[in-house]
Amino acid sequence: MMRIWLLTLITFGALSASPISTPLLDVQDGRAAVTAKHLQTGMSGFIVRQLDATHNTIIANAVVEQVNSANNRAILRLSEYDGIRQDSLPSGNWTPRASDTAVLAYDYSRALLIAPNDDAYDTIAKGLPMIEWVHPDNFAAYLSREGHPTPTTEDFHRYCTANSVGLLYVQSANTLFTLDCKSFTLLQHAPSVASSEQGMTPFYSRIPTIRAAWFGEGSSRMDNYEEHYLEEIALNNSKNRELYELYKAKFSDKSALLRNFDLKE
């Protein structure tokens, strides 16, 4: 039986705390400034406008782009809200403004865990009981509908947006990575120790086969679980020096994975 020893479960659980709400201080050119504690680059959320004393509405997506830890000031990147898709109804045409409210890390109490086998999945899930886990069978069924036996980052974004899932945990290379499931930005990582028990592709689930489309991104069968997820994490966090140093320590400076980073020496 495989055992996984997670060294920092308390810090991982901290991300599943209450959402962070804070008013917009300034809005310019698709960016908004806010001040709040505990923000991290890559945290996603949305902008809310209070219409009257009893009504409000979500008007935009938001992702934390920069954080100044000295004064807790952060810059949010704003975009069109895509949390609810209904082509038969009109959508609002609101532009975020100062005094609107940013709500970040709203869905961080719900998470999806990508693990190589059932033992890894069970050990990690039971080690983080404060999280409401969305079973990977559900995600596998979504991928089968899309014809993607190899999940893309856009698959994660769409699935997590539609199912109100905030965090994505990926267990790979003796490391547990925590990402924002909508922005695919790395928030935390911690060492884990796993046996060499063979894993499943594209991840542990009880769905025997994920249907493949004829062509397009994600339609090919995954060859290597570990390499795929490590590469996707690197590509979407190419300027993260801490992640680069982690990869370099694990795989040496000759690994092809290091080519996915864009860092200035």
- Does the pTM surpass 0.95? The reply is no
Cis-peptide, bond into residue 23, ω within 30° of zero = no
pLDDT at 11 over 60: no
Looking at the fold, whether 96 and 160 belong to one and the same domain comes out as no
Last residue of a domain, one of 104, 125, 145: 104
Q: Does residue 232 lie within any of the structural domains?
A: yes
Tokens found for residue 42: 């890559």
Helix axes 153-162, 136-146, angle to 10 degrees: 120
Asked if 220 and 150 touch (Cβ cutoff 8 Å), the reply is yes
Looking at the fold, whether 94 and 119 belong to one and the same domain comes out as no
How many domains does the structure of the chain reveal? Answer: 2
Asked if 124 and 50 touch (Cβ cutoff 8 Å), the reply is no
Looking at the fold, whether 244 and 155 belong to one and the same domain comes out as yes
What's the sign of the alpha-carbon dihedral 179, 79, 105, 167?
negative
Q: Give ∠ CA 184-187-192 in degrees, rounded to 5.
A: 105
Q: Does residue 38 lie within any of the structural domains?
A: yes
For residue 4, what pLDDT band results from cuts at 50, 70 and 90? very low
Looking at the fold, whether 96 and 211 belong to one and the same domain comes out as no
Q: What is the CATH number of the domain that holds 93?
A: 2.40.10
Looking at the fold, whether 223 and 172 belong to one and the same domain comes out as yes
- Reported as a single tens digit per residue, the pLDDT across 108-119 is 999 999 999 999
pLDDT at 53 over 90: no
